[in-house]
Amino acid sequence: MKSNYLITFILLISNNLYAFDLSIKITHPTTKINNVGCALFHEDIKDFFPMEFDGAKLINAVTDEDILVCKFNDLTSGRYAVSVFNDLNENNKLDTNFFGAPTENWGVSKNIRHSMSAPEFEESFIEIKNSDEEIEVILGK
């Protein structure tokens, strides 16, 4: 009976030992901010990065002392990429034009930006290894 309690206790503690937080500070140099959303992509769904949110963890940014922040909690170690967008018309998606280029301000982890294509997971990922992480994402077009 005592061993069952001990095993349960160890399992509860071990789950918390391997849960980490990722905080994203969002910078918007000349952008009108309306409704900023953050999507977190684990490497298991990297083919959907950065604009297909199926399977991604989605949250809205909050203001913390005049700074926009998204915080993802209880993450396991692994490779993740972040996509951030300013949803001006509040339709919960990143709007694009006829050619697929975003018409709303956006950004990704590592602030990768190409003129003719979307960033890929492999160049944008951050690795969470046994500690909380903080990154900055700059919004732009």
- What domains are there in the chain, each with its CATH number? 20-138 (2.60.40)
Cβ contacts of 55 within 8 Å, gap of 6 or more: 41, 44, 45, 48
Q: In the prediction, which pLDDT does 2 show?
A: 58
Question: Each residue of 82-98: pLDDT tens digit?
Answer: 999 998 888 888 899 99
Per the CB < 8 A criterion, the answer to whether 80 and 137 are in contact is no
* Predicted confidence band of residue 16 (pLDDT cuts 50, 70, 90): very low
Model pTM?
A: 0.83
* Predicted confidence band of residue 3 (pLDDT cuts 50, 70, 90): low
